[in-house]
Amino acid sequence: MHIHILGICGSFMGSLALLAREAGHQVSGADQQVYPPMSDQLRAADIILHEGYDAEHLSHISPDMVIIGNALSRGNPAVEHVLERNLVYQSGPQWLAEQVLKDRWVLAVAGTHGKTTTASMLAWILSEAGLAPGYLIGGVPCNFERSAQLGQSPYFVIEADEYDTAFFDKRSKFVHYRPRTLVLNNLEFDHADIFSDLAAIQTQFHHLVRTVPAGGKILMPADEALEQVIEQGCWTQVESLSSSADALWRIHSVSDDLSTFTVVRHDSSAEACHEHQGCVDWTLSGHHNQNNALAAIAAANHIGVSVASATTALSSFSSVKRRMEQIACVNDVTVYDDFAHHPSAIQLTLAGLRAKIGNQRIIAVIEPRSNTMRMGYHDQKLLAATAEADVLMWHDAADGHAHNVRAIFAGREHSHVMDSVQDTVDALLLQLRSGDHVVIMSNGAFGGIHALLVTALMRKYETDL
């Protein structure tokens, strides 16, 4: 079957394309912007990519099935062509549910933050345990060669996103997945372009909870918004995750730099408690990653992976591309790429780096690109979220929403509002000194600033990586 995917370079749709290709289908696709790392994965899998949504692409290839991403809506030329010609089409989540997840034990990770990292951790734990899981992750996990794989066992790990399914299906994507093991990481207001308030998101999360069988398991921290979801009705055992004394799954013995910690499942007997513990010793930073690890370990334990095996696996976990990914170190200036989509994520990331590097300077370069940030909902929260940074550079995007950035941050101490990517790079070259840490934060390509900055630093210091 020839499957053509509209919106193929999105993290979910790109991963879906890899699964379809692995299943033996001929796969092509189109997107408005085609850029790494997803485009590299797709081309490596012999998937043909078209830039833009010109309907002529569809006329020339005559696909058997068109899968339409949620970024496309009525009025899009390709969408209108599909409808006018009565082509067979589906949403990505529906295709995934019918063609891949049916009859699998689905382990889903949902929540506002940490989905990609936690799902990657969980897939890695199961892989290291010899379970050969399938997985679909909305990013590129560094421990795997690709972001999705069919797997060779009943188990399938999926990052379960609350964003809507398609222009013709406004339910959250995760409602299609029918998990038996469900991780609920956290819940905050986000996606202001499709949700009116937190209660609207909670409704979708409750739809998800309703799909978990009684014999399954839900794993979640003490989170008021999530607890309100559970209070709406729950038919599944819930296990608590926390560092507090009343949680079933807990974190103990955290080192000062957060690089080591112990995970314990507190069963009723001391002997059982000792059997259900292990130590993680890794390179990741931040309490948020410890919480992600705790959730992944608890989820893996639901299908029989011991805590000791899971913590050993995580000690060799290498994170996910664009999640505080160190991309260069030039003249002792370290440059990171971070997928920053929400003030809470920004705050946790910067706090984790601060715990790791001590008094060295943090320069945060931020493009407030998510729909919710562009709409101005998080302006005031961003001020508190960036408190750990010594210098802030805000990108003044030319998309009609830039006034939020300039109005909130211009003139504030240690803050600079930049009009272009090149201006930002030039300003960084004047600002940076040996020992600094530059965190580039955006959920998009950010105009290629990462490569531009690294190249400029190499030229300035006449060095190679």
Give 190-237 as a DSSP string. Answer: --TTT-SSHHHHHHHHHHHHHTS-TTSEEEEES-HHHHHHHHT---SE
Provide block-wise average pLDDT over 10 residues at a time, the chain (465 residues): 95 94 96 81 91 89 94 96 96 98 97 91 97 91 88 97 95 97 92 84 97 98 94 97 85 84 78 72 85 96 96 88 83 88 81 88 86 60 83 71 57 75 90 92 82 90 66
pLDDT of residue 331: 87
Q: In terms of Cα–Cα distance, which of 51, 45, 60, 63 is closest to 9?
A: 51
List residues bridging with 330 in a β-sheet. Answer: 333
Is there a contact between 103 and 283 (Cβ–Cβ < 8 Å)? no
Q: What residue spans of 50-114 are helical by DSSP H?
A: 56-61, 77-84, 92-96
pLDDT of residue 400: 47
How far is Cα 219 from Cα 452, in angstroms, rounded to an integer? 42
Q: In angstroms, how far is CA 273 from the centroid of its own chain? A: 32
Q: Which amino acid is at 390?
A: D
pLDDT of residue 386: 85
pLDDT of residue 226: 96
Domains, the chain, with CATH or none: 2-91 (3.40.50.720), 103-314 (3.40.1190.10), 325-461 (3.90.190.20)
H or E element that contains 238: strand 237-242
Is there a contact between 172 and 111 (Cβ–Cβ < 8 Å)? no
Q: In terms of Cα–Cα distance, which of 38, 36, 75 is closest to 53?
A: 75
DSSP string, 48-66: EEEES--THHHHHH--SEE
Q: In terms of Cα–Cα distance, which of 196, 188, 285 is closest to 229?
A: 188
Q: In terms of Cα–Cα distance, which of 418, 461, 453 is closest to 337?
A: 453
